[in-house]
Structure 1
């Protein structure tokens, strides 16, 4: 979603490859925190385990989250993501609401309407998003002032724990657990809080269900219009990034890379790209196809290879491996934004940033007529 005046990041993308940060979840695990650490005093009486609810650390362990942002920035990241991958009322309900399936019921639109209307979940989601954005903003500005290089905060908008494209009921292919409007409402709440916290960009990422992403993009557009950001020329640029399988398809909606781009092109994003899912070696041909089709900047931040429980990070590839592969992307003229997803620590990002220094970004000038 473009703005009338050029965003400062656009100027960077035309002159060099921008670096986005690595995996918050992977890096959090290196701090060795336990259940008691994420609960703190505030959530000490929660009935469900919370340790896998990494977004909650922004509230209970803000110093650690700030330290992670600092490390990624000092590693060379131009863009750092808010710790909000699952910070919607829908995703947070997994940690705070009893699953009706455990009592003979099922999750359905009636169940999720109650989730959308739940004040505790709504307020919690808004607080996580706003506070995480403020934490990012503080460190982005601090490091920018120290280094004289502008840094950007990307409000991270994840894919949700539900699907609009597929039915979980093999006997009822038309059934959906949630409605488009419910998903849109949850995303709109997240978007408003990310903007209030000071985000520079909105990043709809790790898209495995294109219809979920559509709901996020509609929510963003409606927030811009309803809150007067369009009239005041204060729209935030939007970045879009999909997760694909071995055949290059979005994992649930099963769109090819080209079909996915056709489905989101109308949003006029600042960038489109691929992240998570595949290691960088398997991602290359699909990134190449996207680079050929899309008329905007291209981003790539793949997992550090395939999962490996014996590895310290849980993934195979070391920093020097990721640096080599992302260097191949750059030499192929495929990318404008590069970084890492699952398994990528600040050390991985530092290696990638070093490898890409001086590398030419993918040319955008050839698309000026089409754009």
Structure 2
């Protein structure tokens, strides 16, 4: 992406490891919210269960969401993610539209065209994104004013509940439930709402399907061009982060780490990285490969190990474990941005921030020279 002047975060990444926040869903669960809490008045008559639709809490429980943002910021986060992982009309339709498969039908492009054109779903998606961005902006600025350290709001753009790369029909390998243009349209609506809410960055994250990510990146480019941001030199930096399996491949599209970088590097992102996935230990070799190939900042915010229903957070690793692992990444010269995904609470982020304080970031300028050579 092209910008008239360097973004303030770029200077930080040259001098220290920036901290991104932890898991909103994990932290929400510690507040003991119920179905009635997430519904509030606005959604009290919804016919489907909503408790797993954590993005709605930005609308119905803003004080709780604000408290979570505050805790992550006070734990040391420089980058605060909006609570918008599933805030597109496509993903929200899972909670508000009857599934045609329950009545002998199927989800297909005709079904999703109605979703894309549904005014109520579009209004809901806009409200979630704009409101969440405003909440992050408010708390980021409030804490920054108190301690004098600038904070940044990243508009979180999740992977969707549909895939452009794979067919769900074993008898029809060419079938896709949704089209590229439909996915792009849903993402463009989300992106515009995030920008309206005041985000500093756009984060395309937890990528398991590279083609879905491509649609998001094309949508970003088109929004910048169509809305005059490019002409005004006001394009926002873009961060890209993929989820990988045990072989280092994106989970559905099965691109290797290097292939994934080659597929998106033309975007000239602020950062490329890995998140979610299998926990820090299993992520190390793939992060190392990405760090070797990419000529931009590297981000890493893994799950707190593997899922464990007996753990208080639902994942194996505690704050000290995550701090130790990410310190190892830093000592290896692999990262510029560090934090945690699923299972990482504010306590995890505090431990990571403390462990990485004073540690040198990966040399981006040096990497640029090596790649150019």
Question: Normalization by structure 2: what TM-score?
Answer: 0.99
* 8 Å contact from structure 1 (residues 2, 270) kept in 2: no
Which residue of structure 2 lines up, in the alignment, with residue 188 of structure 1?
A: 188
* Whole-angstrom CA distance in 2 between matches of 1:364 and 1:36: 48
* Whole-angstrom CA distance in 2 between matches of 1:181 and 1:187: 10
CA-to-partner distance for each residue in 1:86-117, whole Å, 9 max, x for gaps? 00000000000000000000000000000000
Q: State the SS of the aligned residue for 1:261.
A: helix
* 8 Å contact from structure 2 (residues 296, 368) kept in 1: no
Which residue of structure 2 lines up, in the alignment, with residue 46 of structure 1?
A: 46
CA-to-partner distance for each residue in 1:156-199, whole Å, 9 max, x for gaps? 00000000000000000000000000000000000000000000
Report the Cα offset of residue 69 of structure 1: 0.2
Which residue of structure 1 lines up, in the alignment, with residue 18 of structure 2?
A: 18
Which residue of structure 2 lines up, in the alignment, with residue 237 of structure 1?
A: 237
Report the Cα offset of residue 58 of structure 1: 0.3
* Whole-angstrom CA distance in 2 between matches of 1:367 and 1:325: 23
* Whole-angstrom CA distance in 2 between matches of 1:152 and 1:353: 16
Report the Cα offset of residue 367 of structure 1: 3.2
Report the Cα offset of residue 366 of structure 1: 1.7
The number of equivalent residue pairs is 371
> How do residues 216-295 of structure 1 correspond to structure 2 at under 5 angstroms?
216-295=216-295
> How do residues 34-113 of structure 1 correspond to structure 2 at under 5 angstroms?
34-113=34-113
* Whole-angstrom CA distance in 2 between matches of 1:366 and 1:19: 22
Which residue of structure 1 lines up, in the alignment, with residue 327 of structure 2?
A: 327
Report the Cα offset of residue 3 of structure 1: 1.4
Question: Normalization by structure 1: what TM-score?
Answer: 0.99
> How do residues 338-349 of structure 1 correspond to structure 2 at under 5 angstroms?
338-349=338-349
Which residue of structure 2 lines up, in the alignment, with residue 135 of structure 1?
A: 135
* Whole-angstrom CA distance in 1 between matches of 2:233 and 2:331: 36
Structure 1 segments unaligned to the other structure (5+ residues): none
* Whole-angstrom CA distance in 1 between matches of 2:74 and 2:365: 31
Structure 2 segments unaligned to the other structure (5+ residues): none
Q: State the SS of the aligned residue for 2:315.
A: coil
* Whole-angstrom CA distance in 1 between matches of 2:39 and 2:366: 52
* Whole-angstrom CA distance in 2 between matches of 1:283 and 1:57: 31
Report the Cα offset of residue 260 of structure 1: 0.2
* Whole-angstrom CA distance in 1 between matches of 2:317 and 2:186: 35
* Whole-angstrom CA distance in 2 between matches of 1:346 and 1:366: 33
* Whole-angstrom CA distance in 2 between matches of 1:194 and 1:181: 20
